[in-house]
Amino acid sequence: MVSEDIERLISLLAKLPGLGPRSARRATLALIKRKETLLIPLSKAMATAGEAIRTCSVCGNMDTRDPCKLCNDPRRDDKLICVVEDVADLWALERTASFRGRYHVLGGTLSALDGVGPEDLNIPKLITRASDEKITEVILATNATVDGQTTAHYIADRLAGANVTISGLAHGVPVGGELDYLDDGTLSAALKARRPV
Amino acid sequence: MVSEDIERLISLLAKLPGLGPRSARRATLALIKRKETLLIPLSKAMATAGEAIRTCSVCGNMDTRDPCKLCNDPRRDDKLICVVEDVADLWALERTASFRGRYHVLGGTLSALDGVGPEDLNIPKLITRASDEKITEVILATNATVDGQTTAHYIADRLAGANVTISGLAHGVPVGGELDYLDDGTLSAALKARRPV
């Protein structure tokens, strides 16, 4: 139907999350219609990223530098490490602009079902980092799922010997959330952790 | 938050139809995690397409060749021209594999509101092509919208002198469609054009 080059572009775009075969066709059409302003700049941005992006040897973040921008930033607090499952979680926390310490990206969660053990994650490096005496607190910001919490418990156990405070994210009512739509677990956690106004 | 190269990739991906800032971030993460299998091949496919894609000087289709694959194909019927608004419509018709003639892509519709006149579309070339004596039929497959139909009427007028049959797509009940959900216009068109079974 169309030339092989266009077919190839469609089938690669269809592999992106959120794009199926149909929307990949639409995206390809948009790209070839806006060759100068979109297709060529995007191809160059991808080539640059493809050459430059690496995993940070300190924290496991992905960036074009190693150590990454966050590990390099002298204005960040060296005393705090926030442990997250994935780069996406790090980005989410950074968007809030409310944490100014360092990060540690695990690259997943422990999972007996999927055969993911501690040696498959970025945990040994975390233990080494946490044993540095300038670290005072490790915040376990894994997801509030079973796997995420299992991983957090495991890390807390491993860090029990180190001289650091170990904390986790607070559970409670989401800001802007309606009680009526909340699950029972969250609601009772919010009630238990109630605070004086 | 992240390096400028990644930010740039996110903001360019967010310009694709069907992707917003949030899904562009997800897509970027997927790309940088699958550097070898997705990011680099996609960047190369885009660069190839960017270099090679041009508008077909015969029909207005976009392809890596000029004349395009469809204009070049010796197995297609030279007597029929199917006129469409956009390359996307050409692709849609080609997917049905039920038309084996040639195409002509207008590149839009006439629109008094947007100031699009006949000289802004690929119409003069269509008139020239249709005056070739081997052409026997021109199928006007513009969209069934007001602008699409206006454009079809205009072209039909311009071709009145040429020795060709001018036809349009049939209106009717979509295959698999339920009468209850159809608009009145389509339903009465289907009734008017009823056929012996």
pLDDT at residue B90 in the model: 93
pLDDT at residue A12 in the model: 94
From A38, A53, A68, residue closest to B32, measured CB to CB = A53
pLDDT at residue B4 in the model: 84
Cα(A93)–Cα(A171) distance, integer angstroms: 16
From B9, B12, B41, residue closest to A38, measured CB to CB = B12
pLDDT at residue A181 in the model: 86
pLDDT at residue B27 in the model: 94
pLDDT at residue A5 in the model: 87
Q: What is the DSSP string of B35-66?
A: IIIIIHHHHHHHHHHHHH-EE-TTT--EESSS
Q: Which amino acid is at B53?
A: I
To the nearest 10 degrees (0 to 180), the angle between helices A123-130 and A146-158 is 40
Are B49 and A65 a contacting pair at CB < 8 A?
A: no
pLDDT at residue B58 in the model: 94
Are B8 and A45 a contacting pair at CB < 8 A?
A: yes
For the whole model, what pTM was predicted? Answer: 0.78
pLDDT single digits (tens) B6-19: 999 999 999 999 89
Query: Which parts of chain B have pLDDT scores under 70?
Result: 1-2
Cα(A91)–Cα(A80) distance, integer angstroms: 17
pLDDT at residue A185 in the model: 86
Q: Where are the domains of chain B?
A: 72-168
Query: Which parts of chain A have pLDDT scores under 50?
Result: none
Sort out which chain A residues have CB atoms less than 8 A from B46's CB and list them.
9, 31, 39-40, 42-43, 46
pLDDT single digits (tens) A94-137: 988 889 999 999 999 999 888 999 889 999 999 999 998 899 99
CA angle B47, B35, A104 (to 5 degrees): 140
If one looks up domain B72-168 in CATH, what number appears?
3.40.1360.10
pLDDT at residue B47 in the model: 93
Q: Which of B9, B39, B46 to mutate to test the interface with A (most CBs of A within 10 A)?
A: B46
From A5, A23, A63, residue closest to B52, measured CB to CB = A5
pLDDT at residue B157 in the model: 94
Are A39 and B50 a contacting pair at CB < 8 A?
A: yes
Are A87 and B3 a contacting pair at CB < 8 A?
A: no
pLDDT single digits (tens) B109-139: 999 888 999 889 999 999 999 998 899 999 9
